[in-house]
Structures are given as C-alpha cells and as structure tokens.
Amino acid sequence: MAKPTGFMEYKRETAPNRPVRERVRDWNDFHTVMPIDKLREQSARCMDCGTAFCQMGLMLGGTASGCPLHNLIPEWNELLYNGMYEKAYRRLMKTSSFPEFTSRVCPALCEGSCTLGLTDEAVATRQNERAIIEHAFEMGWVVPNPPKARTGKTVAVVGSGPSGLACADRLNKLGHSVTVFEKDDRPGGLLMYGIPNMKLEKQIVDRRIRLMQAEGVVFKTGVEIGRDITAADLRKEFDAVVLCIGAKKPRDVSVPGRDCKGIYFAVDFLAASTKSLLASNFADGNYISAKDKDVIVIGGGDTGTDCVATAIRHGCRSVNQLEIMPPAPVGRTDNNPWPQWPKTFKTDYGQEEAIELFGKDPRNFCLTTKKIECDGAGNVKALHTVEVDWSSGKMQEVPGTEKVWPAQLVLIAMGFLGPEDTVIRELGLNQDQRGNISAPEDSYATNLDGVFAAGDARRGQSLVVWAIKEGRGAADAVARYLAEK
C-alpha cells in the first residue's frame, strides 16, 4: 500500500486541460501535466485493496469491469509514491505493451472499478500511468531490446492498429521474425488516422514504431493484402498470419437525400484531416474542410466527439450532434452497479469546446433523421429530423416535432458493422453473426490453419485497451502454434 491513510488525506486531483480558447487554435495535446509532488499524493490514494477490482478485466453483465490488461495498478502506484520510478515503469511494462497510448485514449475502465469509487472519487490511475511511462522515456529507460536469438519462424501481421502492434511487439520479443503490413502510408492504423492529433499526438505513435523497428519488426506500408499481395501468397511466405484489420466498415444512414454531396463517414473525415495536418499543416488542401460551415454529426461516442472537436479546429460556423438514444443517467442505475464501468452522462473534450464557443451542448438526443435536403447544385443544404420516444421500450416518432437543421457538411458517426471482407472472402474465413472473423478467444485461430484474428476484426468495434489485450493474446496463441510445427 502506498500510504495507509492516503485516501483519507488527499482528494482526487487531475491536471486541468488547456483552456478551450487556447487549445482550439492548434492541434496539440489538450492535456497538461501535473507536478511530480502532486502525483505522489494521487498515488498515495491507492488503497491496495484485498481484491483489486481495478485490474481484474472481466465482463460482468455484459459490461467491462477493470483493466483488460490486468495492469498491476496497486503495485506501481506504491512504487510511484515511493519515488521508485524505474521500478514502477518495469512493473507497468509486465502487462502493458503501450501505456503511452492507453494513458491518453483509454476511458480508464480501471477507475470505473476502483474500490475507493464506492464512497469517494476513484484513484487517478490513468494520469499516474502516463506519468510513469513518460518519465521513463525522459530518463532513457525505454530503449530497444531486441531478442537475443531468433526462432527462424516468420509471422505476417496484417494491420498496424493497436492490436496489430501489440501482437507484433510480443511475437518479436519471443524471437519470431515479424512483418507488419499496413495499407495506409504510415503505420499506426486507428492510432494514426482514427484518433485526432490533439487527443493522441502522432509523434507519440512514431516514437513507439521507431522503437519496434530498432527491435527488429519490419513495417511495410502502402501494401494492401488482396490487392498488392494475395492472401494466399502471404500464407505461403509466412509460417503464420494474424489478421488485425480492424472493423472499418461504417454503418450508413439510409434516408432520402443520402446521395447529396457534402456527406462523409466520420472515419474518412478524421483520417483526411490528420493526413493533411502531417503532410503540410493543411497547406495542401487535401482534407474535408468544415470552415465556415454548419456541421451536423449523426451519432455520438468517441468518434462523434472527435468530429466535433476537429470541425471546431477547422473553423466551423456551428456544430450539432444528433443522437437517436436518450442521454445516459447522471448517476449509476440499479442495473449498472459497481464495479461495472459506469454508464453515466459525461461531457467530453469536444462537447466542452462547443459549449464554450457556441454557448450550448452540441448533443441533441432522441432524434432520428428523416431526410437530407440538397440545394440546386446537389450539395447538402439541411437535415430534417423528428423526435423519438423510448418510454414504451421501442422507438416511436413524436408527431409535431419535425425540425429542419441547416447543414453544409454532414458526418456519419454511427459506428461500424464489422471488418472489410476482401481478405475474409479470399481466404474463405468463417464469420460470426455480426460479420466479424470467427475465432475463439482462447486460441484466436480461424477455420484456416495458421491464420489467426485479433482486435476489432474478431471482437467487434471496441476500445484501444481491448485491442492491445487481443493482440497480446493472439501473439501467445501463435507462439503455441509455432512451437508445435
């Protein structure tokens, strides 16, 4: 235990975000860093519970509870409190492949299951995690550590998102020769082009890629399996193949006017923005601009929030989010008890920015889109919605609540339907009812010998931390398979 009375002496405190009117003028990290003495106080609040629910990583009642990576949170909190920073880093890396990612973009499932959260505010675990890994980089403790010997076995990892990177990293450390294939121009997948720069600066991703390259992982970008290399040839060239291709098939909206110009999927909007930022700081104009436009985001979640924040930084005239469901409750309900992740109403960074700049929360709940209106040139002009009522347990439209929303840019952020199926069809892989690649969690093996699947492609759209967990698990399964060959 860091300090037996720490949770009674100190209140939860986190570093404030950068002021809204400052941060929306750039694309830099909107977080600030807390001084080390304050971090010691925050780590002192960790009670080292008899049963540390924060690190259990289980699904309870269909809801995540605790860290899927089983991070040894009480242990490294104690080391952080005692100033044993290098030992804290070593302990953290026992279970986590990329704490610099999860400490920035994970919603902190660990904090939702913190025992202290029953009666007080949870331990600021995510903040402490970031402090440990960044201090380790600053001190030069994070250095390439290639395997001392190679097994002679080769593995192809398709996709360089969080699951692909975690899988490649773990297999490489076990001595296997790993090649990662990425169809985009830069490695990182979702981390690079799915999450905007102010939430995860791309030099953080590049830093880890360089480290993996120095350890022997080979990255081949601009290579699409099924187009540049057949999946069959990949199987012939490598002893095992792991498909970490994500779940990028977006859910669409089917209403009259969907063919208007100016309607885009959120993932395309976010990716184009980041590519242009990295290539030329937007000088090339190769992005979908929201400047001086009324922007409508259909859908919520993290992706919807990122669209709001990105549109604001482009200089939009207004931004609104339309959500079909009612808002989450302010506090836990009886069917969402601790230690489940609390499904409560939260205001994220994008909404905070819209409230500050436009004077209101951009989210509008219990609305469904009825049609999209085009102007004479075929460009989107407006959205027509109607309110819906869920009190009967099913959606019912409310007569007389029709509304017209001006819009020159519409972004669809309604989630994803599963992985793109080019490789799946070519290999004849089995799929589950949701279209994901069928592979048991204990083996990650598909119906094809030597072919494995992990991450969103197997699990369905989920969090970065679950993708990393899947990648690590798949790597262990591949290692067992190769040991038997």
Identify the pLDDT of residue 41: 93
Best CA proximity match to 65, nearest among 466, 361, 470: 466
Query: Helices 125-139 and 73-81: crossing angle, nearest 10°?
Result: 60
Identify the pLDDT of residue 116: 93
Identify the pLDDT of residue 63: 84
CB distance 293 to 317 below 8 Å: yes
Mean pLDDT score, 75-99: 96
What is the residue type of 466? W
Identify the pLDDT of residue 234: 96
For residue 439, give both structure tokens. 């592979």
Percent of the chain with pLDDT over 70: 100
Identify the pLDDT of residue 3: 87
Detail the DSSP E strand segments found in 263-392. 263-265, 294-298, 318-322, 363-364, 367-374, 380-389
- Domains of the chain are 6-139 (1.10.1060.10), 154-248+417-484 (3.50.50.60), 252-414 (3.50.50.60)
pLDDT at 479 over 80: yes
Query: Could you read off the pLDDT of 200-240 as tens digits, one per residue?
Result: 999 999 999 999 999 999 999 999 999 999 999 999 999 99
Q: Write b or e for each residue in 223-240: b if 16 or more Cβ atoms lie within 10 A of its Cβ, otherwise e.
A: bebbeebebeebbeebbb
Mean pLDDT for the chain overall: 96
How far is residue 363's CA from residue 312's CA, in Å, rounded to a whole number?
14
CB distance 417 to 436 below 8 Å: no
Identify the pLDDT of residue 47: 83
| H-only helix segments in 395-444 | 422-427
Going by pLDDT thresholds of 50, 70 and 90, the confidence category of residue 159 is very high
Global pTM value: 0.96
In the chain, DSSP finds a helix count (H) and a strand count (E) of 17, 18
Query: Could you read off the pLDDT of 261-304 as tens digits, one per residue?
Result: 999 999 999 999 999 999 999 999 999 999 999 999 999 899 99
Query: Could you read off the pLDDT of 31-85 as tens digits, one per residue?
Result: 999 888 889 999 999 987 888 999 999 888 888 899 999 999 999 999 999 999 9
Identify the pLDDT of residue 472: 98
pLDDT at 195 over 90: yes
For residue 163, give both structure tokens. 């699951």
Identify the pLDDT of residue 37: 82
Mean pLDDT score, 461-484: 96
For residue 125, give both structure tokens. 């675990």
Q: Is 484 helix (H, G, I), strand (E, B) or coil?
A: helix
pLDDT at 26 over 80: yes
Going by pLDDT thresholds of 50, 70 and 90, the confidence category of residue 346 is very high
Identify the pLDDT of residue 9: 93
